[in-house]
Structure 1
């Protein structure tokens, strides 16, 4: 239990430090010759500049190397006094948090590994009934990729860093390997590459590993692209480099010929000053010699500036590949299919809805194909979309997001078979066993990303908080899997009136403020008087006066 509790403490600390790293020098400028786009709400991030400046002064930004040294020093010190303190895991187990990736042990669906956006790795050996953390002793808990060696299921490869690179990026320190199912870990390099988006082990030779990386998102560098190891991860060679601000976001391997791989590049830089989410270097590349040479695929694909790209390859016919491409407006530009291993592509977008991404194409960008039916393809987004005919006709296969039966914002799929698979979202992981007819919550991992916690004097045994994409919630350990949702949106700081038990206040993103005076049955806005044109932080500070709580 104490290990799980320490997991939550480290998770919370990693969130705070992750925010700290997001600050970049005021002197930073967009990469030369690259297209940049600043979301309207990104202007609110400028309000955080003073927060970061205070912590980096006199330097203009937090040095990632200094940060890395500090993180590793903190782990090495392993404060004994803190470890001996008694902690109780209060929860929640039912609310969920953002899961970036997962891996199911081949031939044994009871063993599953889950990689969290900022909460390390959890493992189950009983099909999800119980979970335990296995990565908490490492300095970086943002996970972007998990791969199980197809020849040795006790060997697990993990890529750190949040591959979705949101407004508050969580960086990593490269790649790790476990040879005992996650009991112990060895760091295997790619520190400077920071964010690892995918790992593939050659099924014909476990010493050959490919790792796609996005690099540090705060500045341009040569340390990004696709890397290959032929000695089990002891050394790495960069086999595909596209540009100093373009990493490799996805790749697939031919299931019948491990010398053939496809990889896609993406221009992505994120600081508090600029947000590069598309550019001229977003392309699909192919190698037929294990990465020694690459060709850019073009016939039928867009020849103009685009954004993030996702790939999926058929398990039955390796010449059939799907590609999803995001456009400069952050919706799906097109879904493409090739039947000749990339020589030519056809557009199978059909009736795919642009509302699927909610204008956040850089945050999604994945596509999947059913391993038993290569005409059945899936695209995660605000809700999960599916086409049964190889494209052209799409429909939603998860319940409406606002019911919370399946949380909004999906990031990853992993199949047990053609009708049973798992779906990872911003609010945990879900499972269907009947081809999407019904869904069930598949985990009770305490990985909710809390921005703030609060004390309610009228319910002193309960704990309350505001969480990323999971609103305001509260409860305690006695009903850890049944915490209640108090308010929606992204939740921030709740405040409870010290006199009136029915009166309390909640906050949502960008300074949205509401209150209830009847114990939560009704909520009312109280932002009147705040200039709507003024900047408000994503997590806007507000307080209650201790002298006058009105």
Structure 2
């Protein structure tokens, strides 16, 4: 592995209450990782055993922390989605893993294990994110994952986004059902059949909850319950109308919209992150682009500091709420002081790289664009200063592309959805140009003159160093490093709008 050492997107995390410095995370591109020193060092524990990198959920048994369940396929869907391949289980604290069923449930959202019996577990599965299928909903095992029973099913297009057990009574469950689908041209989130369901008999029977909850279009939702007040239930709900943070004081019978600020449910199909302090039910956390904390049950809230934006999950130690792990598009980070300080994300090489290019130096450099970070330039062989210090950023944005000049590797070209940048990586000087006179931002697809995708192709001519090709629905060519551009192809769209 040559780098970068910087972390990538993480949507699954867990901790071990009896081992306060041991944590796990599942990344969307790098498998399962473990730390035993509160995030000072992370080690991959799934390579060669779990056959894909995208993880959707991870849970450690409270009664036997050697038992870990991991679900593949992140349910926090976006433009790039890797379909899951079922459940995996470890009985030796992550040293070895075995397949544990549910091969066709697609994206796995949440796993919850019975607090006193590690053989009883529940899985919330979104299903295949691309097409309708019946392998979605809430699943239960009573034999440690050898067999699974579907205990809650709504339809072939509505899966599960969350399942939670009531502290002190694991026979009481809450599940959030969600119609979420990734189409080639858009993301669908929400339907009238979505919502929150409750079971009082270990998942055998379920009732859809009302009592003040949204009843029209309901999208993704998440549930959180504090052991300090098990009858109080919080829900973060995407809905039109009526999205926001809801609260029930009677185990879900009646609900009140506590705070409907749009800030709390921005881009909900990708976030909808909710957590509550296990010792104080008034302390609640919400994550999306920002990270928010409330000390009065979300009547009011403040922005809290975390290492990176785009926040996906939080786990709080049930015996000591100052010990927590939180995840986002930059990785996973641990706090031992209630979120005042966090561990580094520059020790977990799990970056999602959109594209790769090479130059002709020795050692040659590798160029790529890292999701929700920057472009990166990495030497193919160590230069002697240590991996974390040997990569650097380049031109362009998180989506890239980034390519080097073929004859002068100090000149690098980058892109960002139709913008073109020429950068001298020695001096840092940049020149930026638009291909055409129209920005991608603020214009609908039908109104765009040039439809550059998030990840648009770019190539440098092998014959003329200053000639670069850049693709929208047309092929564009510059012969002067981006100052002027020619359109050299017809519209190549398969089905023009």
TM-score w.r.t. length of structure 2:
0.85
Give per-residue Cα distances to partners, 1:26-50, cap 9 Å, x unaligned: xxxxxxxxxxxxxxxxxxxxxxxxx
Give per-residue Cα distances to partners, 1:39-82, cap 9 Å, x unaligned: xxxxxxxxxxxxxxxxxxxxxxxxxxxxxxxxxxxxxxxxxxxx
SS at match of 2:109: strand
Contact kept? 2:67, 2:118, Cα under 8 Å: no
Contact kept? 1:492, 1:507, Cα under 8 Å: yes
Give per-residue Cα distances to partners, 1:295-314, cap 9 Å, x unaligned: 11111111111211011001
How does 1:69-80 map onto structure 2 within 5 Å? none
| Distance 1:192-1:496 versus aligned 2 partners, 3 A rule | closer
Could you say which residue in structure 2 is the equivalent of 1:214?
Answer: 126
Could you say which residue in structure 2 is the equivalent of 1:421?
Answer: 324
SS at match of 1:141: coil
Contact kept? 2:38, 2:334, Cα under 8 Å: no
Could you say which residue in structure 1 is the equivalent of 2:428?
Answer: 521
How does 1:55-454 map onto structure 2 within 5 Å? 89-93=1-5, 95-137=6-48, 138-273=50-185, 275-328=187-240, 333-349=243-259, 352=261, 354-355=262-263, 359-398=266-305, 406-416=307-317, 417-441=320-344, 444-454=347-357
Could you say which residue in structure 1 is the equivalent of 2:398?
Answer: 490
Contact kept? 2:216, 2:240, Cα under 8 Å: no
The structure with the largest strand share of the pair is 2
SS at match of 2:305: coil
| Distance 1:489-1:339 versus aligned 2 partners, 3 A rule | farther
Question: How much does 1:470 deviate?
Answer: 1.4
Unpaired segments ≥5 residues, structure 2: 439-447, 467-497
Question: How much does 1:443 deviate?
Answer: 5.6
Contact kept? 2:195, 2:219, Cα under 8 Å: no
Q: Give distance in 1, aligned partners of 2:41 and 2:340.
A: 25
Aligned with 1:466 (options 369, 373, 392): 369
Question: How much does 1:462 deviate?
Answer: 4.5
Q: Give distance in 1, aligned partners of 2:21 and 2:346.
A: 12
TM-score w.r.t. length of structure 1:
0.77
Could you say which residue in structure 1 is the equivalent of 2:454?
Answer: 538
SS at match of 1:109: strand
| Distance 1:274-1:375 versus aligned 2 partners, 3 A rule | same
Question: How much does 1:355 deviate?
Answer: 4.3
Question: How much does 1:502 deviate?
Answer: 4.7
SS at match of 2:269: helix
Contact kept? 2:396, 2:402, Cα under 8 Å: no
| Distance 1:275-1:462 versus aligned 2 partners, 3 A rule | closer
- Higher RCO, 1 or 2 (CA under 8 Å, sep at least 6)? 1
| Distance 1:250-1:472 versus aligned 2 partners, 3 A rule | same
Question: How much does 1:179 deviate?
Answer: 0.8
Q: Give distance in 2, aligned partners of 1:468 and 1:501.
A: 24
How does 1:4-83 map onto structure 2 within 5 Å? none
Contact kept? 2:154, 2:193, Cα under 8 Å: yes
Tell me how large the CA RMSD over aligned residues is: 2.2
Contact kept? 1:465, 1:473, Cα under 8 Å: yes
Could you say which residue in structure 2 is the equivalent of 1:455?
Answer: 358
